[in-house]
Amino acid sequence: MFQHIDADILEIIRYTVKDRGLWRVSKEEGFDLIREMYEKISSVYGFPTPALVEDSREVYWVTPERIGLPKVSLVSSLHEYRHHMQKHQKQHYSDIEVDARGWSISAFHYALPEDFDSAWRRGLIWFLPQYGSE
């Protein structure tokens, strides 16, 4: 887990999920919300905003800076965005997958702790961190 995620990023995530209803809207609206989230996060860091397209699997194309997602997923969208950050020299762990898993899960945990607890208990996070007690 990351020890610190920028407060601005956490607020953008909370706004996207709670105020805009990421988990309640249609798939098309959800993709638009993720695009909006990417724009806001990119403006915080001063990165170009990656394109987001519907794809049959989660994918990040480094050269064209394009993210593909098959469905609306907060953690997957953050995971792919972290690969975009890595391209722009924002990387903590040398292993790109460890770094992307850690950042996306930590961002979810810090932004929405109650939802994280619930998702973690229900097994809705693919790469479960060492978290909580038995």
Partner 1 sequence: MPRGEEGPGWSEYVLPALRPMNAIQAEREEGFIIERAVGNFLLEHAPFYRQGDITDIVIEEVPMGEGFVNYHAVVAFTKKEGDQI
**Which residues of this protein are in contact with partner 1, per CB under 8 A?**
23, 57-63, 71, 73-76, 79-80, 83, 95-98, 100, 108, 115, 119, 123-127
Looking at beta carbons only, is 41 or 83 nearer to partner 1?
Answer: 83
CB 45 to partner 1: min, Å: 19
CB 50 to partner 1: min, Å: 12
Taking CA atoms, 113 is separated from 10, 74, 107, 123, in Å, by 11, 14, 10, 15
Taking CA atoms, 57 is separated from 5, 65, 102, in Å, by 27, 16, 20
Looking at beta carbons only, is 8 or 97 nearer to partner 1?
Answer: 97
Looking at beta carbons only, is 43 or 55 nearer to partner 1?
Answer: 55
Residues with Cβ within 8 Å of 104's Cβ and at least 6 positions away in sequence, in order, are 75, 76, 78, 79, 81, 82
